[in-house]
Amino acid sequence: MPRRKTSNIISDVMDSAETLRKDIDAVPYEMRDKIREIAVDMISEPKKGRGRPRKKRGRPKKKRGKPRKRKKKPKAETIASL
């Protein structure tokens, strides 16, 4: 019975990871730590959303607190008299 495609992909990734680990172990100790830090940062980076953001569900939430007073615009008559 042939292997499933997903298990082939997983085994390829695991094989690549093992090879990479052996290659990193062959590098001098000073460089090894930096390489590991970079690799961990690349793996742990959050997935960036692509495309349009999802629509928010529900009603917009009412802002709490006292409403701010807005500055009144000067009327055209007062501007003309200046």
pTM (predicted TM-score): 0.35
Q: Say if residue 1's pLDDT is above 60.
A: no
Q: Say if residue 82's pLDDT is above 70.
A: no
Predicted pLDDT of residue 37: 85
Please state the length of the chain. 82
Predicted pLDDT of residue 60: 75
* Average pLDDT for the chain: 77
The full DSSP string for 27-74 is: S-HHHHHHHHHHHHHHHHSPPPP-SSPPPPPSPPPPPPSPPPPPPPPP
Contact 27, 20 (CB under 8 A): no
